[in-house]
Each structure stands twice: as structure tokens, then as C-alpha cells.
Amino acid sequence: MRYQIETFTLCDVWVNTWRDDTDALVTFASYDEALKALINHYAGLRKSAESGFIEPYNMNDFRIAEATL
């Protein structure tokens, strides 16, 4: 079983928006691996928001789900 990080979009839909350098969807081998990536990503977003580069994000806009590839 693989996992993906999904983002809640303006259309009220959860979507995996994470892509790698080849534009392939990113999935993770375990829930814990996905969680670590999400925590790291969110920390970067928080730093950018605190620096005034972007608007603050809400952690509730992300979730980890089973990949349906």
C-alpha cells in the first residue's frame, strides 16, 4: 500500500498535487514516510509565511491518504 499527501482545493476536493522533477505524482511507501515529508513541507511553508513571502497555510488543508494509482 502506498500513501499520498493531498491538498484541499478551492473546489472542495482533495487532490494529490505533489509532483517530482519528471511531473510524476509523488507517493510514499508508508504513512510515516508521508507524515515526515508533510511535516518538513509545512515547516518550510511556515517559515515563508513568517518571512512575509506567502500567506499562512493551515495544516488542515493537507491530509495523508491511500494512493489510488
**Beta-strand relationship, 62-66 and 3-8:** antiparallel
Dihedral of CA 52/54/55/59: which sign?
A: negative
Distances (CA, A) of 30 to 44, 65, 68: 22, 10, 14
pLDDT tens for the chain, residues 1 to 69: 999 999 998 888 999 999 999 999 999 999 999 999 999 999 988 888 888 888 888 888 999 999 986
